[in-house]
C-alpha cells in the first residue's frame, strides 16, 4: 500500500487547515522537496519522521514561508500563502513555530518574549498581554521564571517558553521542528508533556520528531519522508509495527536499535 492508495487517517476529523499540493523546492542542484502532497485537518496532529537531510525542516519552514517554494501551492485555512510584506507577516502570526534551538529573544526577559508578539502584532495592551503571558507561562510550568533572561534558563525551560511565546499569538496551527533534539534526556519529557497536553486540547500540530513515544501517544498520523519526498503515511501504530516501504523499514530498524 502506498501513500496515494491509503485513505487519509484523519478523515472526518475536520476540514483541511493546511494543504500542500504539488510543492517543489530546490536548493541549487538539490531537489529538497519533491512533489509534496499533504493535507492537515483541523485538530489533527501529524508527526513527520525521516532520515537527516530528507527535507523535514524545509517542509516545516515552507508552511510559514520562512522558506519559499519553487512550484505548487500551500494554503492555510483556504487562503494561499501571501508573497511578502504585511499580509505574510499576518499569516505568520497565525502559524506558531517552535525551533530546535529555541531562538528566544536573548535581550528580552521571559515575560517580554511572550508579550512582544501580542503587543506589536496584535496591538494588545501591555497589561492584558502580561496577564495572558503569565497564564501561559504557568501552563507550561515556567511562571516563576518570568523576570529572568533566556540564558538563565535550562534548555527544557527555554523550549517551554518558546511554546508559550507561540501560543500567545493564538495560532491556528503549531509547527515543531525537532523541539527536543537539542535537549538533555531529563528535559525531553517536560517539553513532550506540554506538547501532549496541547494535542489533547485539540491544537492542530505538525511535529518533526523522532520521539516515538510522543508519536504513539499524541499523533493521528505519521508521515515518513526520505530524499525530499513523502514515502509513506499511516497511523502511528501501523507505521511503527508494519512499515510498508523499504526505506521506512530500514530507517526504523536503525532508530530502534538504540
Partner 1 sequence: MDAVFSNFDDYLKAFGLTIGLFVVAGIASLVWGTILAVLRVGPISILNKAAALYVTLFRNTPLLMIFIFMAIAMPVLGYNFKFVEDVEIGGYNVSAFFFRSCIALTLYTSAFVCEAMRSGVNAVPLGQAEAGRAIGLTFAQSMQLVVLPQAARAIIPPMTSVLIALIKNTSVAAAFGMAEAVATMKALTNNNADQRTGIFLAFAVGYIIIVEVVALASYAVERKVRVAR
Ligand X SMILES: Nc1ncnc2c1ncn2[C@@H]1O[C@H](COP(=O)(O)OP(=O)(O)OP(=O)(O)O)[C@@H](O)[C@H]1O
Q: Which residues would be at the binding site for ligand X (CB under 6 A)? A: 27, 30, 32, 50, 52-58
Q: How far apart are CA 208 and CA 135, in angstroms?
A: 27
Using alpha carbons, select from 174, 172, 169 the residue that is nearest to residue 122: 169
* Residue 30, binding choice from Mg ion, partner 1, ligand X, none, Cβ under 5 to 8 Å by partner class: ligand X
Q: Mark residues 66-95: x for contact with partner 1 by CB under 8 A, - for none.
A: x-----------------xxx--xxxxxxx
Q: How far apart are CA 253 and CA 210, in angstroms?
A: 13
Nearer to ligand X, 34 or 108 (CB): 34
Q: Closest separation between CB of residue 213 and ligand X, Å?
A: 18
Number of H helices, E strands in the chain: 9, 10
* Residue 235, binding choice from Mg ion, partner 1, ligand X, none, Cβ under 5 to 8 Å by partner class: none
Q: Closest separation between CB of residue 220 and Mg ion, Å?
A: 22
**104 is a contact residue toward partner 1 (CB under 8 A):** yes
Residue in the block written with cell 518533526 = 208
* Total residues at interface with Mg ion (CB under 5 A): 1
Burial 162-189 (b: 16+ CB within 10 A, else e): bbbbbbbbebbbbbbbbbbebbeeebbb
**57 is a contact residue toward Mg ion (CB under 5 A):** yes
Amino acid at each position: 500500500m502506498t501513500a496515494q492508495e491509503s485513505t487519509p487517517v484523519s478523515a472526518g476529523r475536520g476540514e483541511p487547515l493546511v494543504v500542500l499540493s504539488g510543492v517543489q523546492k530546490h536548493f541549487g542542484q538539490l531537489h529538497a522537496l519533491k512533489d509534496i502532497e499533504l493535507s492537515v485537518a483541523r485538530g489533527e496532529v501529524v508527526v513527520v519522521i525521516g532520515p537527516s537531510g530528507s527535507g523535514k525542516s524545509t517542509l516545516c519552514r515552507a508552511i510559514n514561508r520562512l522558506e519559499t517554494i519553487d512550484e505548487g501551492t500551500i494554503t492555510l485555512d483556504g487562503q494561499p500563502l501571501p508573497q511578502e510584506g504585511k499580509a505574510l507577516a499576518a499569516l505568520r502570526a497565525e502559524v506558531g513555530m517552535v525551533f530546535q534551538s529555541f531562538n528566544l529573544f536573548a535581550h528580552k526577559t521571559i515575560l517580554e518574549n511572550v508579550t512582544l508578539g501580542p503587543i506589536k502584532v496584535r496591538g494588545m495592551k501591555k497589561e492584558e498581554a502580561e496577564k495572558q503571558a503569565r497564564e501561559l507561562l504557568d501552563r507550561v510550568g515556567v511562571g516563576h521564571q518570568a523576570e529572568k533572561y533566556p540564558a538563565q534558563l535550562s534548555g527544557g525551560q527555554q523550549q517551554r517558553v518558546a511554546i508559550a511565546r507561540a501560543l500567545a499569538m493564538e495560532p491556528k496551527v503549531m509547527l515543531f521542528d525537532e523541539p527536543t533534539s537539542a535537549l538533555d534526556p531529563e528535559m525531553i519529557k517536560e517539553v513532550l508533556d506540554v506538547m501532549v497536553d496541547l494535542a489533547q486540547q485539540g491544537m492542530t500540530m505538525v511535529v518533526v520528531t523522532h520521539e516515538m513515544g510522543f508519536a504513539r501517544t499524541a499523533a493521528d498520523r505519521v508521515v515518513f519522508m526520505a530524499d525530499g519526498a513523502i514515502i509513506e503515511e499511516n497511523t502511528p501504530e501501523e507505521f511503527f509495527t508494519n512499515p510498508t516501504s523499504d526505506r521506512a523499514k530500514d530507517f526504523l530498524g536503525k532508530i530502534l536499535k538504540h
